[in-house]
């Protein structure tokens, strides 16, 4: 099996993360969409709590590493509440930014957030099968989205198809801190404290998204494997950048 073709059994993940006790659906994508639809009103607050208020500055830093040029067409895949689209547009209003997401509730928030920017638009769709034309974008950003897709391979293949030759890809997602101290801190914070906080304070009686985070990350490959998958899916010049002690990782690559 090629490294690009790491199969993650999403039926098992649905069970493990507890989707089946809260939502009705037969496919991973259906359950995941219901999860994000119900989370949408709390999503921005959740990010602030989880990242100690640092997710915006991390997203800005990640964007600052990219070879963005005036007037480029950028796809913000799995745009969610539109943070990434907003940062691109605020940085350079000449950019044409399209945000795509499967959750209508998330897109409603994103649309309000970027209403002042004329060149930001949104599309409801599936990152694995966007229906957009080949080679339509100079750059693609996917923030905390790859971990949520039914198939990482299918996602990377679609991103490769959508990029122009020479176009850049940036993947920002959870990482796997290495080393005893970082791993212990990660375990204590993500696997113990955060799920407890979610259950007792943030999500009383609701699906606990604070538990989804560490559980979904257990099934997400480590950064080196993701880099290998990107290479197998024909991306080149792959670099890896760590934030928050490796708790968040960015992959940057180019389509030759
Ligand atoms: C954790 S949020 C990330 C939002 C945003 N990019 C950010 O950085 O804050 C993940 C988003 O991926 C979307 N998503 C999950 N699977 C998708 C798919 N197959 N196609 C499009 N969007 C998807 C969800 O609806 C959700 O809004």
DSSP states of 103-138 as a string? -HHHHHHHHHHTTT-TTEEEEE-BTTB--PPTT-EE
Whose C-alpha lies nearest to ligand 1, atom 17?
102
The alpha carbon of 168 and the centre of ligand 1 are apart by a number of angstroms equal to: 19
pLDDT in tens, 57-75: 999 999 999 999 999 999 9
Q: Give the Å distance between the CA of 67 and the centre of ligand 1.
A: 23
Tokens read off for 100: 């795509």
Contact assessment for residue 227 and residue 238, using Cβ atoms and an 8 Å cutoff: yes
% helix, strand, coil for the chain, step of 5: 50, 20, 30
* Two structure tokens written together for 86: 């907003």
Residue partners of 67: CB distance under 8 A and separation at least 6 = 139, 168
Q: Does the C-beta of 158 come closer than 6 Å to ligand 1?
A: no
* Predicted pLDDT of residue 235: 98
What is the length of the chain? 256
pLDDT of residue 2: 47
Listed in sequence order, the residues at least 6 apart from 187 whose beta carbon sits closer than 8 Å to its beta carbon are none
CA atoms in the 13 A half-sphere facing the CB of 67: 10
Under a CB-based contact definition with an 8 Å cutoff, are residues 5 and 221 in contact? no
Atom of ligand 1 nearest to the CA of 76: 6
pLDDT at 115: 98
Residue 53 has a pLDDT of 85
Interval between CA 145 and ligand 1 midpoint (Å): 5
Beta strands in the chain (DSSP E): 73-77, 96-101, 120-124, 137-143, 163-174, 236-243, 248-254
Residue 155: closest CA among 164, 145, 165: 145
CA 19 to chain centroid, in Å, comes to 19
Element containing residue 160 per DSSP (H, E): helix 152-162
* 231 Cα to the center of ligand 1, angstroms: 23
All residues at 6 or more sequence positions from 128 whose CB lies less than 8 Å from its CB, including other chains: 29, 149, 150, 151, 154, 155, 158
Q: Which residues of the chain have pLDDT under 50?
A: 1-3
Cα 133 → chain centroid: 22
Q: Residue 183: count other Cβ atoms within 10 Å of its Cβ.
A: 14
């Amino acid at each position: 099996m090629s490294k690009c073709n790491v199969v993650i059994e999403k039926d098992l993940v649905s069970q493990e993360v507890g989707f089946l006790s809260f939502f009705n659906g037969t496919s991973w994508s259906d359950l995941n969409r219901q999860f994000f639809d119900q989370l949408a009103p709390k999503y921005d607050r959740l990010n602030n709590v989880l990242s100690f208020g640092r997710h915006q500055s991390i997203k800005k830093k990640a964007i600052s590493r990219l070879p963005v040029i005036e007037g480029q067409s950028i796809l913000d895949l799995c745009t969610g509440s539109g943070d990434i689209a907003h940062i691109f547009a605020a940085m350079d209003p000449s950019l044409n930014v399209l945000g795509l997401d499967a959750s209508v509730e998330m897109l409603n928030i994103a649309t309000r957030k970027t209403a002042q920017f004329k060149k930001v638009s949104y599309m409801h769709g599936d990152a694995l099968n966007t229906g957009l034309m080949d080679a339509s974008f100079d750059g693609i950003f996917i923030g905390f989205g790859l971990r949520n897709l039914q198939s990482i391979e299918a996602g990377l293949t679609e991103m490769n198809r959508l990029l122009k030759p020479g176009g850049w890809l940036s993947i920002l997602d959870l990482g796997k801190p290495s080393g005893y101290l970082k791993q212990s801190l990660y375990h204590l914070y993500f696997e113990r404290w955060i799920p407890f906080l979610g259950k007792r304070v943030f999500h009383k009686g609701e699906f606990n998204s604070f538990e989804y985070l560490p559980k979904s990350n257990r099934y997400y490959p480590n950064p080196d494997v993701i880099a290998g998958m990107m290479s197998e899916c024909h991306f080149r010049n792959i670099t890896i950048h760590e934030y928050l002690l490796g708790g968040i990782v960015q992959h940057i690559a180019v389509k030759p």
